Amino acid sequence: MNFCSECGDMVKLLVPDGDNLPRHVCQRCGTIHYLNPKLVVGCIAEWQDQILLCRRSIAPRYGLWTLPAGFMENGESTTQAAIRETLEEACARVDIQQLFSLVNVPHINQVHLFYRARLLDTSFAAGLETLETELFSEQTLPWQSLAFQSVTLCLRAYFADRKAGRFVFHEDDLPRPVAPITDHLQG
In the complex with a second copy, which residue's Cβ is closer, 11 or 135?
11
Min. distance of Cβ 177 from a second copy in angstroms?
15
Hey, which residues between 4 and 23 contact a second copy (CB under 8 A)? 4-8, 10-11, 18, 20-21
Three-class SS of residue 42?
strand
Among 14, 15, 62, 77, binds a second copy (CB under 8 A): 77
Hey, which residues does 91 pair with through a beta bridge? none
Per this entry, what is the length of the chain? 187
Contact assessment for residue 41 and residue 69, using Cβ atoms and an 8 Å cutoff: yes
Q: Is 72 in the site for a second copy (CB under 8 A)?
A: yes
Tell me which stretch binds a second copy (CB under 8 A): 48-56, 67-75, 118-126, 142-150.
67-75
**Which string of x and - marks every residue 19-48 that binds a second copy (by CB under 8 A)?**
-xx--x-------xxxxxxxx---------
Hey, which residues does 42 pair with through a beta bridge? 69, 114
- What is the Cα–Cα distance from 144 to 63, expressed in whole angstroms? 12
- What is the Cα–Cα distance from 83 to 19, expressed in whole angstroms? 37
Residues with Cβ within 8 Å of 125's Cβ and at least 6 positions away in sequence, in order, are 90, 91, 133
Interface residues with a second copy (CB under 8 A) are 1-8, 10-11, 18, 20-21, 24, 32-39, 71-80, 88, 98-99, 102, 104, 106-107, 109, 111, 128, 169, 171, 173, 187
